[in-house]
Amino acid sequence: MMKSELNPKPSAPAAKFSLRGLAGCAVASMVFASGCVRHDAEFSHRKDYNELMPEAREYVDQTLSKHFGRPTDLVAWEKLPLKLHAATGNVDEGATSTAMPVTFTEENLPVEPGYEVTFLSGKLLQKSEEPVRVEAIGEDNTVSFQSPGLVEAPAAGDRVALGPGQVLKTGRMLYAEHCVHCHGVSGDANGPTAPYLNPRPRDFRRGIFKFTTTQAANRASREDLSRTIDEGIPGTYMPSFKLLTPDENKALVEYVLWLAMRGEVEYQLVIGLKQDYSNEAVADRQKSGESLAEIRNIFLEAANGTELSETFNGTVDSIAERWVAAQEESALIAPTAKRSEATAESIARGRALYLSKDLNCIACHGEAGLGDGPQSYSITKNSAGQDNPEPGLYDEWGNKVIPRNLRTGIYRGGRRPIDLFARLHGGIKGTPMPAFGGKKTDAELWDLVNYIMSVPFETPRPGDGAKEAKPAEAPKQVAASE
């Protein structure tokens, strides 16, 4: 009775209504909180981008979107030196609207029935609205099409792609599955896992990869990236992806290169525009008498005319040239001398080089090779002359670098003698580790390799100094077999 008095009947419908509303709100909240609302992934921008005036930012957006697309709607830009398609080739004589003989110039992935056929030149250049698909490929490389075939027969010499953009697409899907949580959608090393990792994942957007077999001035080769994906990077969170098939590895390499080129293009665009069209530069120009409207007009004229597009094309050409050059055989580090046997004499010569003022290895790696040289805690300015957040060594990405502890026997670029030779010859790109190729002969570098490989087996004794230190005897594990 008491209860019914406290909760009189007329208020019951109101309570029911409130509960229904409450439940509705809760469900809607959960829907939003669980991310049920679809958001497509987007490419991020560099920090510098936010310093540009709005018109310049819009120009960067439009340019990147036009030539690279979005993460789920990619543009396979033919100007980039990449293997974008499953296969490309030139049409031979005797083509009809239902079949064409092709001389393949590039076969990147196995062509499967059902793959699209796109012409990259000639009268059928991106002509068909309904894609024509591969029915089969004969032994004589004659490609037959699924019904109804082409609108007309292609001419001999027309360039054709089978599975257009298929390599990029496969790479993108594999990247989403295996790489994105550390390296980020844009390759900016800002994936959701990245903040918890030390060392940080690689940021591809400068086009710099640390562990390469190319000369110091060159970009990485495809083989370098392929090996890193295959083997991982010892001593870091980068695992081995040996379970990927060779075709998958190849597709992933091309996608990483595509991200690196996109990042470089963005970097060059933003850096170029920042000189005259950053908010700071615009404010300075206003102080010197120009009005904001004038500055905007100048920019829009440049953007709508040929000035910025010519600069952009030149930038892309130079980026592409560097990547093409890195794939040439001449870019590779090729020792001119065979590795010398890891004798006590060779190791002693290597140690002398290690301690020499010329190479100055001890400045970073320390006399005992523990990675505790004086520069590892005393350098106050980075390579650009800016103050370091705290004294020490920093890489191009602004991450603090701890020189390798040579006593652990763990080398991120690989533990084979040739891997260490490549590190000494070409340096570690984007880091303070310099290149000694050209500074010392290859025979001397092999002595240094022999010494470095002997360090984990040395027994350090108190009082061992530069002069008194004696090289360890060559352990069997590292003895050269020639």
DSSP at 462? T
Residues 6+ apart with CB under 8 A from 60: 45, 49, 52, 266, 269, 270, 273
- Exactly one of 1, 2, 10, 73 binds other proteins (CB under 8 A); that residue is 73
Binding of other proteins by 65 (CB under 8 A): no
Binding of other proteins by 22 (CB under 8 A): yes
Residues 431/210, Cβ–Cβ less than 8 Å: yes
Tell which positions 185-224 bind other proteins, by CB under 8 A. Answer: 185, 191-193
- Exactly one of 48, 51, 55, 78 binds other proteins (CB under 8 A); that residue is 78
How far, in Å, are 49, 266, 306, 378, 401 from residue 271 at the CA level? 9, 8, 19, 30, 25
Amino acid identity for residue 163 in this structure: G
Dig out the tokens for 462 from the structure: 């108190």
Specify the stretch interacting with other proteins by CB under 8 A; choose among 47-55, 65-73, 200-208, 455-463: 65-73
> Which alpha helices (DSSP H) does 133-240 contain, by range?
166-178, 180-183, 222-231
- Exactly one of 131, 138, 148, 157 binds other proteins (CB under 8 A); that residue is 157
Nearer to other proteins among residue 121 and residue 382 (C-beta):
121
Binding of other proteins by 271 (CB under 8 A): no
Dig out the tokens for 356 from the structure: 């020499």
Rounded Cα distance, 206 and 190, in Å: 14
Helix or strand run (H / E) with residue 104: strand 99-107
Specify the stretch interacting with other proteins by CB under 8 A; choose among 32-40, 286-294, 371-379, 394-402: 32-40
Amino acid identity for residue 432 in this structure: P
Nearer to other proteins among residue 36 and residue 243 (C-beta):
36
Please, what is the minimum distance in Å from the beta carbon of residue 38 to other proteins? Answer: 8
**Total number of residues that touch other proteins (CB under 8 A):** 60
Specify the stretch interacting with other proteins by CB under 8 A; choose among 168-176, 282-290, 380-388, 452-460: 168-176
Closest CA to 49 of 59, 39, 40: 59
Binding of other proteins by 108 (CB under 8 A): no
How far, in Å, are 45, 211, 223 from residue 184 at the CA level? 12, 20, 22
Binding of other proteins by 41 (CB under 8 A): yes
- Exactly one of 177, 290, 328, 358 binds other proteins (CB under 8 A); that residue is 177
Distance of CA 224 to the CA centre of its chain: 12
Write the DSSP string, 294-339.
Answer: HHHHHHHHHHHSSHHHHHHHHHHHHHHHHHHHHTSGGGB---SSPP
Nearer to other proteins among residue 118 and residue 340 (C-beta):
118
Amino acid identity for residue 26 in this structure: A
Binding of other proteins by 29 (CB under 8 A): yes
Nearer to other proteins among residue 97 and residue 121 (C-beta):
121
What is the contact mask toward other proteins in residues 126 to 145, using x (rule: CB under 8 A)?
x-------------------
- Exactly one of 8, 35, 246, 385 binds other proteins (CB under 8 A); that residue is 35
Binding of other proteins by 113 (CB under 8 A): no
Binding of other proteins by 384 (CB under 8 A): no
Binding of other proteins by 173 (CB under 8 A): yes
Binding of other proteins by 89 (CB under 8 A): yes
Specify the stretch interacting with other proteins by CB under 8 A; choose among 155-163, 215-223, 271-279, 356-364: 155-163
Nearer to other proteins among residue 84 and residue 225 (C-beta):
84
For the stretch 65-76, what's the b/e string if a residue is b when 16 or more beta carbons lie within 10 angstroms of its beta carbon?
eebbbebeebbb
User: Bridge partners of 136?
Assistant: 144
Residues 31/37, Cβ–Cβ less than 8 Å: yes
| Range 471-476, long-range pairs (CB < 8 A, 24+ positions) | 471/344, 471/347, 471/348, 471/350, 471/351, 472/347, 473/344, 474/341, 474/342, 474/343, 474/344, 474/346, 474/347, 474/450
Please, what is the minimum distance in Å from the beta carbon of residue 309 to other proteins? Answer: 12
- Exactly one of 7, 12, 28, 61 binds other proteins (CB under 8 A); that residue is 28
Binding of other proteins by 328 (CB under 8 A): no
- Exactly one of 7, 79, 94, 356 binds other proteins (CB under 8 A); that residue is 79
Rounded Cα distance, 154 and 160, in Å: 10
Binding of other proteins by 356 (CB under 8 A): no
Residues 6+ apart with CB under 8 A from 452: 350, 354, 369, 406, 420
Nearer to other proteins among residue 20 and residue 470 (C-beta):
20
Binding of other proteins by 69 (CB under 8 A): yes
Nearer to other proteins among residue 16 and residue 415 (C-beta):
16
Specify the stretch interacting with other proteins by CB under 8 A; choose among 66-74, 299-307, 436-444, 468-476: 66-74
How far, in Å, are 104, 392, 403 from residue 400 at the CA level? 48, 7, 10
Residues 6+ apart with CB under 8 A from 157: 90, 91, 122
Binding of other proteins by 12 (CB under 8 A): no
* Footprint of other proteins (CB under 8 A): 15, 18, 21-22, 25-26, 28-29, 32-42, 67, 69, 72-79, 89-90, 103-105, 118, 120-122, 125-126, 157-159, 161, 164-166, 168-169, 172-173, 176-177, 180-181, 184-185, 191-193
